[in-house]
């Protein structure tokens, strides 16, 4: 449990009232069945949270505590924003009904969000009957901007500006032939900030490897970073709140909001390495040591080729883009067979977690010449063959729909859903823009 986080002070009920969420600006901690679980920064917004009770019992100390007005405010803004993100239009009245707020409180909350340029009014609804018609609201995409950085390619840093709906409005790239450095990242962030007169909500940076909740890159093999306090260094250089996360987790967030992923899904990224991200009940699972989804160096064939990590038969050594391209170059006539074998192997490996977790779909991200119809069909057939029963269906396998913007949009979305509830603390920016 983070030292700065007081459960009694930051309690918010979820819809089923069996779990509590502790919300901070950096990340959230969930208490389920009296056990703490650290979660991805975007998670707080994934729950259909009601307004917190004014007084509730602390299950840890047994004391009665009151939720602070700030916590209630954050909870209500989060809940209202969730109903409209990324592109829904809804009346004030309907928002209030869905999140369980009175008409007065709904008007107060959404009015503040309009003032802070989080939402915009589209005009009265078209319902018939007596009484004053309610204003239709939507996310305001003309004001706040988010800087999103994708470092999944160690030789090319990709950057973009996004609006509050997660849409990319501008992009740039910074070649890094000698490897991407922290200075490169900072330079790219400053370039994007300088490119717009609009206020920046936050910076999101997606990197390969293991990232701690406090934004320290514990280990990124491809970037050659170890114990790097990236969040702190970028914030010190730019003065802008920064969230750092794993690139595959960011990709899954994008596919969940803008693609085909369900609340119970997995995304597998096949590139220079192999990575996975997992979403259960709309929660990105990071694991106790922030290494959930690090499947590249799990041995799946003890007699397989030697991996760069030194072991034999790692998943990465068998199904990574580099390895498959190498095999195809050596035997072009066997391209279809090689890709079908790789897809079947991945399907066989993923059948156990798919069945264990009852996943509804698995999204595959990779170059189209590798992750093609033969690859996906073979993977889907293998999963169906090995796990389908009378009571359990195999998950659907599909390619990601977001293309090269996948990670950029996902990391921007994490920033949006984490920092939008804190905009009221930065009111001075409204007049400065």
Residues 30-45: tens digit of each pLDDT: 333 333 333 333 333 3
Cα–Cα distance between 267 and 261 in angstroms, integer? 8
Q: Please state the pTM of the whole predicted model.
A: 0.82
Q: What is the pLDDT of residue 65?
A: 59
* Mutual angle of helices 335-357 and 373-387, in 10-degree steps: 40
Instruction: Look at residues 72, 98, 89, 153 and name the one whose alpha carbon lies nearest to residue 124.
Output: 89
DSSP conformational letter for 405: G
Average pLDDT over residues 183-188: 96
Q: What is the pLDDT of residue 126?
A: 77
Q: What is the pLDDT of residue 403?
A: 84
DSSP conformational letter for 9: T
Q: What is the pLDDT of residue 37?
A: 36
Average pLDDT over residues 340-363: 95
What's the CA angle centered on 147, arms 141 and 150, to 5 degrees?
Answer: 125
CA dist 333 → 327, 329, 338, 339 (Å): 11, 9, 10, 12
Judge if the upstream peptide bond of residue 86 is cis by omega within 30 degrees of 0. Answer: yes
> pLDDT band at 427, cuts 50/70/90?
low
Judge if the upstream peptide bond of residue 307 is cis by omega within 30 degrees of 0. Answer: no
Phi, psi of 89 (to 5 degrees): -110, 135
Residue 217 β-bridge partners: 211, 228
Average pLDDT over residues 55-74: 63
Q: What is the pLDDT of residue 381?
A: 95
Q: Widest CA span of the chain, in angstroms?
A: 76
Name the average pLDDT for the chain: 84
DSSP conformational letter for 43: G
> pLDDT band at 63, cuts 50/70/90?
low
> pLDDT band at 390, cuts 50/70/90?
confident
CA dist 280 → 74, 359, 360 (Å): 24, 8, 10
395 with 360: CB under 8 angstroms? yes
CATH class of 260-400: alpha beta
List helix spans (H) across 55-195.
69-84, 92-99, 103-115, 182-194
CATH class of 145-246+408-423: alpha beta
User: How many CB atoms neighbour CB 178 within 10 A?
Assistant: 9
In the chain, where does the domain assigned CATH 3.30.420.40 lie?
A: 145-246+408-423, 260-400
Cα–Cα distance between 113 and 376 in angstroms, integer? 44
191 with 237: CB under 8 angstroms? no
- Per-residue pLDDT tens digits for 129-143: 666 778 999 999 999
Task: Give the pairing of strands 361-366 and 396-399.
Answer: parallel
Cα–Cα distance between 428 and 411 in angstroms, integer? 26
Cα–Cα distance between 377 and 346 in angstroms, integer? 11
Instruction: Look at residues 254, 217, 186, 218 and name the one whose alpha carbon lies nearest to residue 42.
Output: 254
- Which is higher by pLDDT, 222 or 335? 335
> pLDDT band at 287, cuts 50/70/90?
very high
Cα–Cα distance between 110 and 119 in angstroms, integer? 8
Cα–Cα distance between 94 and 98 in angstroms, integer? 6
User: How many CB atoms neighbour CB 388 within 10 A?
Assistant: 13
The DSSP element (H or E) to which 19 belongs, if any, is strand 19-23
* Sign of CA pseudo-dihedral 238, 241, 245, 247: negative
Q: What is the pLDDT of residue 129?
A: 61
């Amino acid at each position: 449990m983070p030292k700065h986080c007081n459960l009694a002070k930051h309690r918010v009920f979820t819809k089923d009232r069996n779990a509590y969420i502790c919300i901070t600006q950096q990340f959230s901690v969930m208490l389920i069945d009296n056990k703490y679980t650290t979660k991805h920064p975007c998670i707080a917004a994934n729950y259909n949270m009601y307004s917190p009770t004014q007084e509730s019992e602390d299950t840890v100390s047994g004391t009665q505590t009151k939720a602070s007005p700030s916590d209630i405010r954050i909870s209500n803004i989060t809940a209202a924003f969730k109903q409209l993100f990324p592109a829904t239009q809804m009346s004030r009245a309907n928002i209030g009904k869905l999140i369980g707020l009175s008409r007065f409180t709904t008007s107060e909350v959404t009015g503040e969000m309009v003032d802070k340029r989080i939402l915009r009014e589209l005009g009265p609804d078209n319902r018939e009957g007596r009484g004053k018609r309610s204003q239709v609201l939507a996310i305001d995409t003309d004001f706040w901007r988010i800087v999103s950085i994708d470092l999944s390619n160690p030789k090319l840093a990709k950057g973009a500006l996004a609006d509050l709906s997660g849409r990319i409005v501008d992009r740039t790239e910074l070649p890094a032939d000698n490897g991407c450095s922290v200075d490169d990242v900072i330079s790219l962030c400053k370039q994007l900030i300088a490119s717009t007169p609009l206020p920046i909500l936050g910076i999101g940076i997606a990197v390969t490897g293991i990232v701690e909740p406090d934004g320290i890159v514990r280990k990124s093999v491809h970037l050659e970073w170890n114990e790097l306090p990236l969040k702190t260094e970028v914030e010190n250089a730019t003065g802008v709140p920064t969230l750092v996360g794993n690139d595959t987790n960011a990709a899954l967030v994008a596919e969940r909001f803008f693609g085909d992923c369900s609340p119970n899904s997995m995304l597998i990224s096949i590139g220079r390495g192999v990575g996975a991200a997992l979403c259960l009940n709309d929660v990105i699972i990071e694991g106790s040591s922030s290494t959930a989804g690090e499947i590249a160096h799990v041995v799946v064939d003890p007699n397989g080729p030697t991996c760069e990590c030194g072991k034999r038969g790692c998943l990465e050594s068998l199904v990574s883009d580099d390895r498959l391209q190498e095999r195809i170059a050596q035997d072009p006539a066997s391209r279809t067979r090689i890709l079908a074998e790789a897809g079947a192997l991945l399907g066989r490996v993923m059948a156990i977690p798919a069945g264990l977790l009852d996943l509804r779909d698995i999204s595959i991200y990779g170059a189209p010449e590798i992750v093609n119809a033969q690859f996906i069909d073979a993977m889907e057939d293998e999963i169906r063959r090995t796990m389908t029963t009378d009571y359990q269906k195999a998950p659907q396998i599909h390619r990601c729909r977001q293309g090269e913007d996948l990670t950029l949009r996902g990391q921007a979305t994490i920033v949006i859903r984490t920092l939008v509830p804190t905009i009221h603390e930065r009111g001075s920016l409204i007049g400065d823009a």
